[in-house]
Structure 1
Amino acid sequence: MRQTELLTPQLSDYLDFLDRGEMRYLPYLMYFNRPNFRSAAINTDRLGFRISHGPDGAGSVGGERLDGPVRLLVGGSVSLGYGATSDATTIASRLWTKHAPSHPWFTFGAPYLNSTQELLLFMLHRHLLPPVDEIVVISGFNTLVMGQLTGADVGVQEPFFFCNEYFEKMQELRARYADTAKPKRWRAGPRPASQSVAPTPGRPTTAGMIRSAVDVTLRNLDSWLVMAAATGARVSFALQPLATWLRETPAPQEKLLFDEFDTLSDYGTWEERYGDVGSRETGAAYAAALGEACARKGVPFVDTPARLAEVVDPSDWLFVDRGHYTDEGNDVVAQVLADSLGLT
């Protein structure tokens, strides 16, 4: 039996949940969670938002409307709670149930989202929310790692997951219109080949990727602050913890899982895919740059990897893979967020 089947059997539900053949595509946002998904580990509402649990019940963005105020945990797969054994053991649920239970917490994220998509998700669903008093963005890795993708012509926006597929389809569409849109006699000469991807200049430096990711995050935080001001909500930013940003040596269970993932991956080992992006040095430099940027904007910032390192033991099993957490990991991250931000 594989270690993933033995130690993290719930991941089979997440693999089903993330089936690309069942992916839900949304206008503007590109993609989002599957709606009305049901399993032992993860369940979503009619819109695709994961259901959170509190001491007196459950709630979600697309569920029964609560009076409010509510609180939002915004981000990608970390906010969603990828890897938790149940809806009740996500970070949002642990905040609502134990660490900051004065108001309900909603998960407000989906796998693969970058900083701009997180903002768009809020813009598209804000009208469905009751009053909001806290918005905690726990994010960072997707925006940083997308900086490795060069040559994608996305203008002033950052690349997003699966954007190569998007550009390929758009190039096919442009080519089709080039053949059919105008009569041949209107053309003075041969039409240049349709270009959807700019020439690739080479992989940027890690320092350059950090600068770009911080700039994008800061630009989007400006928009978060403008929108939150209308409701009086506080906006905070927490850098999501990676296993490799937290400690050099994983816990025993983590090592078994990480080694197996590297062996089974169709995309190469973690080192081959992310290299120095996943190093502790990069994590520390990224946290320092984000912290300085947030301070300039007056946005509370949590260096979650550093805070976790202060409260966990080397043998604590926190990760189901290098980017997502066990139930214990979700609980301790929730505690760190509550303590760092003064949440009750």
Structure 2
Amino acid sequence: MLLMLYRHLLPKVEEIVLFSGFNNLGLARLPASMRGEHGAFFNCNEFFDAFGTDADRAAAAQKNPSMMQRLLGGKNAPAETFQIPSMEEQIAYAGDLTLRHLDLWRVVAEDLGAKLTYVLQPLAGWVREKGCDEEERLFAELDKLGRFSETYGDILQEKVNLQYAALIEQWAQSKGVGFINLSPVLADRLASDQWLFVDRIHFTDDGHDFVAKQLLDLI
């Protein structure tokens, strides 16, 4: 949206690099009523709750809290949210949504005459089974606070990364879009004691610098 709004102020854009991938997959387990036409967003249940009636909220509040309610970000998750899709279904949905978005970027890049590369962002579990000491202490503390492993543990498996990446890469090759699955690259280049993640999704400052340097070598 920012590119479209401020394109007239930009110099010639020669290259576009998209670094993304987790959000669509992490939110793919939400019910269709929450995903809507363009996918769900974090804490969407609080947003939808705000538009409900007092009677709706009172009735929903009688339900027991669940892992999915925490993922939604609200207290009043509807009953249908307890039926989590299979991982194959989640990957298929997230892949379709990601490729829909990526195709829009492809059109924009072609109009700009720019090279487009999609980088599938790494997750801690996709890079290595066990992090360095600092990471493991942080992960344990975050699990106490937000139960990340309970909510997303199945996504953190290496096989999920490979399956998700293969789906995107096949499309990218057919459309002439560059693609990099960064997790295997980091797995090869990261020292066992190197502190990369501040949680299982985001990097430390040094981690950002390290990842940026890897991308410079790859793109």
- Confirm or deny that 1:134 pairs with 2:12: no
SS in 2 for 1:276: coil
- 1:244-263 correspondence runs (5 A): 244-263=125-144
**More strand by proportion, 1 or 2?**
1
Structure 1 residues without counterparts, runs of 5 or longer: 1-119, 176-196
Identical amino acids, percent of aligned pairs: 42
1 or 2 for the larger relative contact order (CA 8 Å, sep ≥6)? 2
**More helix by proportion, 1 or 2?**
2
Structure 2 residues without counterparts, runs of 5 or longer: 57-77
Count of paired positions: 197
1:77-115 alpha-carbon deviations (Å, 9 max, x no partner): xxxxxxxxxxxxxxxxxxxxxxxxxxxxxxxxxxxxxxx
- In 2, Cα distance between equivalents of 1:161 and 1:278: 18
SS in 2 for 1:171: coil
| TM norm structure 2 | 0.81
Q: Decide whether the 8 Å contact of 2:26 with 2:152 is kept in 1.
A: yes
How far does residue 198 in structure 1 lie from its aligned partner after superposition? 9.4
Counterpart for residue 208 of structure 1? 89
Q: CA RMSD in A?
A: 2.3
Counterpart for residue 190 of structure 2? 312
- Confirm or deny that 1:235 pairs with 2:116: yes
- In 2, Cα distance between equivalents of 1:167 and 1:257: 32
- In 1, Cα distance between equivalents of 2:79 and 2:109: 36
Structure number with bigger Rg = 1
The match for 1:321 among 180, 194, 199 is: 199
1:260-306 alpha-carbon deviations (Å, 9 max, x no partner): 2223x1x32x2211121122221222122222221122110011001
Q: Decide whether the 8 Å contact of 1:152 with 1:159 is kept in 2.
A: no
How far does residue 127 in structure 1 lie from its aligned partner after superposition? 4.0
- 1:1-344 correspondence runs (5 A): 120-172=1-53, 199-200=80-81, 202-263=83-144, 265=145, 267-268=146-147, 270-341=148-219
What code does the residue aligned with 1:243 have? A
What code does the residue aligned with 1:306 have? P
Moved over 6 A (4+): none
